[in-house]
Structure 1
């Protein structure tokens, strides 16, 4: 099953300090809106998102081509407790927790 591109979405306390830190490591801004307290950074094939005031914890993010198919598969396995897609049209997204409580976001766009 193709889960798509992987990135880590980081819940940061100070987006400007975090941005400065990751840029010093060689990351470049490739998306987002700093005035809205979120930015996407990339270094080679590695992407991270910095989110201030939007996430409670860090999130493992996957960008599949078909989030509905992944959710259906997880439901068939009994591994999608509470996960739902709210809108049946257009791109979809859902979140689940792994056995250790980490949040996984499947965000199709």
Structure 2
């Protein structure tokens, strides 16, 4: 099971203050739009997403089909297969927007401690 790029998606109160804080830790803006309320910050192979007003909780995020630089990779486990495999293992899927036979899609699960985990495929 290849889960792809890993990041932590943080819900923030003030996007600009959070951006400045993480820049002091060595992160640089990698992607996103401040005007849309989110930024993806990168420090080496470490990625964090800063999201203002989008989520209630912080989220662990996996992006099947991407490496840590958001570049497409070959030989990844498709989000449809991941969803089916986790369901078969008895893990409840709480949100599911996986459709069709290929392409983008996402689903979420909750770990035993209530932490949301998003599987978000863009390719």
TM range (shorter): over 0.9
Match of 1:107 in 2: 120
Deviates more, 1:81-90 or 1:57-66: 81-90
- Secondary structure, in 3 states, of the residue corresponding to 1:82? strand
SS of structure 2 residue aligned to 1:71: helix
Cα root mean square deviation, aligned = 1.2
Is the contact made by 1:67 and 1:107 (CA closer than 8 Å) also made in structure 2? yes
Map of 2:54 onto structure 1: 54
Does the aligned pair in 1 maintain the 2:104–2:121 contact within 8 Å?
yes
Matches within 5 A, 1:83-102: 83-88=95-100, 90-102=103-115
Distance 1:26 1:35 in 2: 23
User: What is residue 14 of structure 1 aligned with on the other side?
Assistant: 14
1:78 alignment partner, SS class: coil
The answer as to whether partners of 2:103 and 2:121 remain within 8 angstroms in 1 is no
TM-score, scaled relative to structure 2: 0.83
What TM-score, normalized to structure 1? 0.94
Number of aligned positions between the proteins: 109
Contact 1:71 1:80 (8 Å CA) reproduced: no
